[in-house]
Chains A and B, each alone.
Chain A
Amino acid sequence: MGLILKNVSKSFAGKKAVDNISFSLNEPGVYGLLGTNGAGKTTTIRMLLGILNKDAGEITWNGKTVDRKNVNFGYLPEERGVYQKTLIMDQLMYFAELKGMTKRDAEKSIKEWAKKLKVEEYLNKTAEKLSKGNQQKIQLMTALIHNPELVVLDEPFSGLDPVNTDLIKNIIIELVRNGKYVIMSAHQMATIEEFCSNILILDKGITVLQGNLKQIKDSYPANRAKVEVNQNIDNFIKECNLEIENEVDNNYILKLDNEEKAHNLLKILMQNNVVVNRFEIMKPTLNDIFVEKVGEE
């Protein structure tokens, strides 16, 4: 069951924004939706939330068509916005009531989330008096106060400092632990790698890669080697026909087109009594895969 998108398409003024996209979330977890700006991520999210009509395809949640009535979802849009001149408490209550919560439940939930997100002191202030990061946390609260089953987070970390990024990361981990289905779009590939078991990469509305992140990465050959030594080894690297990508204080990142060359380098280093503190053959990062898939024009 869970969320299923099947052959979904959408065009604007005759131009395909999303072309025949399909994916599913069968169990609680975080699903990563990736793509460059204008790739169709937000259009996909808007369609799956039912705020934009699709031209073709099917979107279901536990077998039912997705719309406000039969899916309890929470949404943090990419476009950040709060009522600037309204008290935070009043606007959170407004959205909680629109989501069908009673006044009592809403107040309780708002206080709990405000504590978790460390914004309790701002509840009786207007949004215009809050920093951008705190406004973003308030908006995240509007997405979560009604305890949704499906949570859609569009660029949840953009504009946040490291402390607040960490705070939001912990919230997402908690959501998954509590059995929530999370769809997340982000530009920070490291964050996606940290959270998502499954991903989909969109380019100009077309799916260029999708599936289990680990399997995807395993299907790629190693493309780098990390070598940490106590001396300059440029000559040995040259001897093995390898190229240096980066070097800082004898910590090398080497480009790899063949794993054998890396093994050969290690052998030579040993033979020459070079002290090797670290030697790692590395698989491509999600960033590498992303750039490979959508970076070439």
Chain B
Amino acid sequence: MKNLFTVMKFTMREMVRKKSFIISTIIILALIVVGFSIPKIVSAIQEEKGNKKVLISDESNVFEGSLESLKTMDLPYDITISKTSYDDIKKKIENEEIKTAIIIEKENEQIKMRYVVENLRWENEVPQDLFGAINSIYSNLQITKLGITPEQLQAITPNFETSVEQTQEDEVEFQNVFVMMIVSFALSMAIILFTAQVSQSITTEKTSKIMETLVTSTSPRTIVLGKTIGIGLIGLFQVILFITTAIICANVFLDSEMINTLLDVSKITPGFIIITLVYFILGYFAYALLYALTGSLVTKPEDIQSANTPVSMIAMIGFYLGYFSISIDPTSSIASFAGIFPISSAFCMPSRIMMGLASAQDIIISIVLLIAMVALIAKVAISVYSNAILNYGSKMSLKEALKQYRERK
């Protein structure tokens, strides 16, 4: 037990000292902070810039001066009403006196509105709200000319109250789907990325020939488990760090209304957090031990990729099955299967629980199957590792290693 702790401690220290680990952690933290602050930055830039300057030219006096009422409306524009020609408007835009202009003309009883802009970039999109307001002013002008009083106008304007009701309650807590998809994706990526580190670490020890000294200092079981737990703890710490940063950033940079729309905090109970951790730990162990097995077969660092391919394939199948089955239709039978199937359950079951789609029975079956798979993989992986780590000849194939395992049994 003491040696297990020693191996864990050494593995963790080696990992956090790696430049690649430090740099990737800083980059991801920076991306989280920047990502959450983007809406605030955009609105701050807009506030600083002030309202967009729009010139409205009514040379033909179609609106008979009623366009002045636009200035009293709650519109995000700095509006100037004038009678300016197209050429002058063009000059004003070129001189950056105004951003855009609307020219109102009348040709053969047909009223035309020309939107003039330097280019149609996203900030210069056609201002539909302004066109709507101009249309409305024109309608009011014509209605007034017809002699209709405001009361008469209100009486003929439709004022329907609409509502939507559904006869069946939602099966899914859709409020949490978006957030859970992100959390589920983060946990899945953490499992896939950190488990591959186990393989890398074992291969490094084997190819640097330190392994023989190591196995005479402690048992192969202690080495495999110590490494797996050590790297897993660092992975868990990193995920918790990212999620905590994301929560802090969400609270600092996002409106509470937006947060409440995306996440029902009442669903994040201590029980839910524990069960999510259980799935993360079991999923991590299953794949980490498989990677430990393949890492021990390699004799040259360049062979690690090919040795890991079978495990990477299984992990990707598990991830796609789990993640996309709940993304497309969380209530489908394939999503239910993915929640119980041990290679995919760790990737999707926490989301299914959060969405209220998993029964207690589903959770128990899923965890029991996952534990059974981890126990089986641990038994085979430790045995193959013990046998393969001292092989410095050509790379041992997975088939060969499993054959030797069966023979030894």
Contact = CB atoms under 8 A, between A and B. Distances in A.
B255 interface: no
Given A46-B390, A51-B390, A79-B392, A98 B218 contact: yes
A95 B215 contact: no
Contacts, number: 56
B211 interface: yes
Contacts of A86: 14
A83 interface: yes
A81 B209 contact: yes
Interface residues of A, number: 25
A138 to B, nearest CB: 10
A73 interface: yes
B6 A79 contact: no
Contact of B216 (A73, A83, A100): A73
Given A98-B3, A98-B218, A81 B390 contact: no
A38 to B, nearest CB: 11
Interface in A89-124: 90, 94-95, 97-100
Interface of A is mostly: loop
Given A51-B216, A68-B218, A75-B212, 10 more contacts: A51-B215, A75-B216, A79-B392, A81-B211, A82-B208, A83-B210, A90-B13, A97-B3, A98-B7, A143-B213
A52 interface: yes
Contacts of A79: 209, 212, 392
A80 interface: yes
Nearest to B391: A12
A275 B158 CA distance: 140
Contact of B212 (A73, A77, A94, A95): A77
Nearest to A82: B210
Sorted nearest first, the 7 A-B pairs with minimum C-beta distance are A81-B209, A77-B212, A81-B210, A98-B217, A79-B209, A75-B216, A97-B6
Interface string A43-74: 00010010110000000000000001000010
A103 B152 CA distance: 94
Q: Looking at chain B, what size class is its interface with the partner chain?
A: 20 to 34
Interface string B196-218: 00000000010011111111111
16 contacts: A49-B216, A51-B212, A51-B216, A77-B212, A77-B213, A80-B209, A81-B210, A82-B210, A83-B205, A83-B210, A90-B10, A90-B13, A95-B217, A98-B6, A98-B7, A143-B213
Contacts of B219: 68
Contacts of A49: 216
A143 B6 CA distance: 18
Interface of A: 46, 49, 51-52, 68, 73, 75, 77, 79-84, 86, 90, 94-95, 97-100, 139, 142-143
A123 B205 CA distance: 20
A97 B337 CA distance: 46
A68 B216 contact: yes
A99 B222 CA distance: 13
Interface in B1-23: 2-3, 6-7, 10, 13-14
Contacts of B214: 98
B10 A94 contact: yes
Given A82-B208, A94-B10, A97-B6, A142 B215 contact: no
B264 to A, nearest CB: 47
Contacts of A73: 216
Nearest to A97: B6
A26 B210 CA distance: 31
B208 A81 contact: yes
